[in-house]
């Protein structure tokens, strides 16, 4: 997610200042250790294990019909679920995030955000699960967790490691009047985190964390999708998928999208959209906008950042990418191949619009392709994304511009929050529920996280630092990585032990 600085200023207006604190410059002690895990050939790291394995992915087939007057969607979802764990499983858990929109107590917004999210007043949104079936018949299920946001499906027989099963879910979705990831506003219908998505099963068990109001509380594997939505003809639909066909069915359009190897599937629809498009490196880039003069700028920012990140990190593997103006009050939100951008940004400061679009585009690499647990290790994708945004400025406009933006958006915001006493505890690497509020989260995860990466770059030198980012992307694209994985790559590429510097920045209270 990208948070608008306008929101930051608005939020801290009433808090009390405290004396500013000079940011400590970390002096690092490099422990030179030889790690013989990999070959270094002509200065390039060669990973023998990089040969991609053929893996079974979950498959989602969703058919949805949108009813305009009621703002509901009736849907069926067929999941071909693969047991990727090493144990037999008897149940499969799904996140059913829309249920948290049922009451003001569980919506994923901080209290002061509720009026911004529901500008026409609160009304509930939710998902009703009508039935869950296997190929043999009905399956029993339970709806559990905070805000009833977890669906537990009991399988009719144990699923062995590597085996697949088909689960059919019928549901009805009530879309709330919320300007967030899931909801409708005056211009758009935002379908982010809208369908039952399989929870992650790892060594620690099922990851069933609730929908936190801070950060982007998501964690998923890449999967293949076929999504069909039937909607009034006046609507244009942008989505994570590639449009396969658009048929006229009884006066409505039936849009069929398909996409492989993405970790989520979002859609956004509007009956006011205009579209401009362009190409870079064989990627079709689209900007969905309203009556705005900044449409060209949004397209150019997306296109130029894709081109720059392709060179720095490695090639974006999909054929298209869309930037969609949306009724979204928190700046921007990233989904695979599609980002939502607050439509108000198009009528405000072009510099901020560019920054937000580049940030969300950088997420295509960090979170989209290289995934991570955004609840436990939010910094890993957000700080890399924020730092990548700086790299866009450095590559497009030169170092001076990057330094200026770094001072304003990174050091400036971090110091501002310290000044206003918003940072209670300097630890960056902590669970979303352990952050005091979204200001502390922003200051640490985005700003201090980017400061750490700048420091790491200075310490390792440009060649090693950028090599490490390339290797990290190559090794973990379509997978999930951890802080430990990222550190190991940096250690291998630099041939140094980096635990001290990582711990110092990410874990220490640092007072
Ligand atoms: Zn972000």
Question: Over the stretch 68-106, which tens digit does the pLDDT of each residue have?
Answer: 999 999 999 999 999 999 999 999 999 999 999 999 999
pLDDT in the model for residue 114: 96
Output the pTM of the full model: 0.91
Q: Going from the N-terminus, what domains does the chain have, and what CATH number goes with each?
A: 5-30+406-506 (1.10.390), 58-271 (2.60.40.1730)
Question: Over the stretch 186-245, which tens digit does the pLDDT of each residue have?
Answer: 999 999 999 999 999 998 899 999 999 999 999 999 999 999 999 999 999 999 999 999
Average pLDDT of the segment spanning 434-439: 95
C-alpha 445 – ligand 1 centre gap (Å)? 10
- Residue 2: pLDDT band (50, 70, 90) is confident
C-alpha 356 – ligand 1 centre gap (Å)? 9
Of 171, 172, 174, nearest in space to 125 by CA: 174
HSE, side-chain direction, 13 A CA sphere, residue 458: 11
- Return the percentage of the chain with pLDDT > 90, whole number: 86
Contacts of 435 (CB under 8 A, 6+ apart): 214, 215, 441, 444, 445
C-alpha 484 – ligand 1 centre gap (Å)? 21
Question: Over the stretch 465-500, which tens digit does the pLDDT of each residue have?
Answer: 999 999 999 999 999 999 999 999 999 999 999 999
C-alpha 455 – ligand 1 centre gap (Å)? 20
C-alpha 373 – ligand 1 centre gap (Å)? 14
Residue 269 has pLDDT above 80, yes or no: yes
Of 255, 256, 253, 259, nearest in space to 241 by CA: 259
C-alpha 342 – ligand 1 centre gap (Å)? 14
Question: Over the stretch 127-158, which tens digit does the pLDDT of each residue have?
Answer: 999 999 999 999 999 999 999 999 999 999 99
Residue 44 has pLDDT above 90, yes or no: no
Task: Give the length of the chain.
Answer: 511
Question: Over the stretch 373-388, which tens digit does the pLDDT of each residue have?
Answer: 999 999 999 999 999 9
C-alpha 117 – ligand 1 centre gap (Å)? 19
pLDDT in the model for residue 77: 98
Distances (CA, A) of 276 to 39, 51, 288, 338: 46, 38, 7, 15
Average pLDDT of the segment spanning 29-44: 34
Task: Note whether 45 and 492 are within 8 A (CB).
Answer: yes
Average pLDDT, the chain: 90
C-alpha 379 – ligand 1 centre gap (Å)? 9
- Residue 347: pLDDT band (50, 70, 90) is confident
Residue 42 has pLDDT above 60, yes or no: no
C-alpha 360 – ligand 1 centre gap (Å)? 6
pLDDT in the model for residue 4: 61
C-alpha 68 – ligand 1 centre gap (Å)? 31
- Return the percentage of the chain with pLDDT > 70, whole number: 89
The conformational region for residue 28 under phi > 0 = left, psi -120 to 50 = alpha, else beta, is beta
């Amino acid at each position: 997610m990208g948070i608008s600085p306008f929101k930051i200023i608005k939020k801290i207006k009433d808090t009390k200042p405290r004396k500013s604190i000079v940011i400590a410059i970390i002096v690092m002690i490099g422990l030179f250790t030889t790690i013989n895990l990999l070959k270094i050939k002509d200065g390039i790291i060669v990973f023998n294990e990089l040969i991609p394995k053929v893996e079974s992915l979950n498959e989602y087939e969703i058919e949805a019909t949108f009813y305009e007057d009621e703002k509901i969607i009736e849907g069926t979802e067929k999941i071909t679920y693969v047991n990727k764990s090493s144990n037999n499983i008897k149940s499969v858990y799904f996140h059913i995030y829309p249920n948290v929109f049922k009451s003001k107590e569980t919506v994923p917004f901080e209290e002061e955000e509720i009026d911004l999210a529901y500008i026409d007043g609160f009304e509930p949104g939710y998902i009703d699960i009508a039935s869950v079936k296997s190929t043999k018949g009905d399956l029993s299920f339970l709806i559990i967790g905070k805000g009833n946001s977890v669906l537990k499906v009991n399988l009719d027989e144990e699923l062995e490691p590597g085996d697949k099963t088909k689960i059919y879910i019928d549901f009805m979705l009530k879309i709330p009047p919320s300007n967030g990831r899931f909801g409708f506003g005056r211009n758009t219908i935002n379908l982010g985190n809208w369908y039952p998505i399989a929870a992650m099963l790892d060594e620690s068990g099922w990851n069933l964390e609730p929908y936190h109001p801070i950060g982007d509380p998501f964690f998923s594997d890449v999967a293949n999708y076929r999504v069909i939505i039937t909607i009034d003809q006046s609507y244009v639909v942008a989505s994570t998928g590639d449009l396969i066909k658009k048929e006229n069915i009884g006066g409505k359009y039936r849009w069929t999208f398909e996409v492989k190897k993405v970790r989520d599937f979002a859609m956004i629809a509007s009956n006011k959209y205009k579209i401009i498009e362009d190409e870079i490196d064989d990627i079709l880039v689209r900007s969905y906008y309203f009556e705005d003069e900044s449409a060209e700028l949004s397209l150019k920012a997306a296109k130029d950042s894709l081109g720059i990140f392709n060179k720095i990190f490695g090639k974006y593997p999909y054929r298209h990418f869309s930037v969609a103006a949306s009724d979204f009050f928190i700046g921007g939100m990233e989904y695979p191949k599609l980002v939502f951008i607050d439509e108000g940004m198009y009528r405000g400061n072009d510099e901020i619009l560019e920054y937000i679009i580049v940030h969300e585009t950088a997420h295509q690499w960090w979170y989209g392709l290289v995934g991570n647990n955004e609840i436990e290790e939010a910094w890993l994708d957000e700080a890399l994304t924020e730092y990548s945004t700086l790299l866009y400025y450095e590559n497009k406009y030169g170092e001076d511009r990057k330094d200026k933006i770094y001072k304003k958006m990174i050091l400036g915001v971090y110091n501002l929050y310290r000044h206003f006493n918003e940072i209670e505890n300097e630890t960056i690497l902590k669970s979303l529920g352990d952050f005091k509020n979204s200001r502390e989260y922003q200051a640490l995860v985005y700003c201090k996280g980017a400061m750490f990466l700048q420091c790491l770059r200075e310490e390792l030198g440009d060649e090693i630092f950028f090599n490490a980012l390339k290797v990290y992307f190559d090794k973990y694209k379509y997978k999930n990585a951890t802080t430990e994985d990222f550190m190991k790559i940096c250690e291998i590429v630099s041939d140094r032990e980096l635990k001290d510097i990582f711990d110092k920045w990410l874990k220490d209270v640092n007072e």
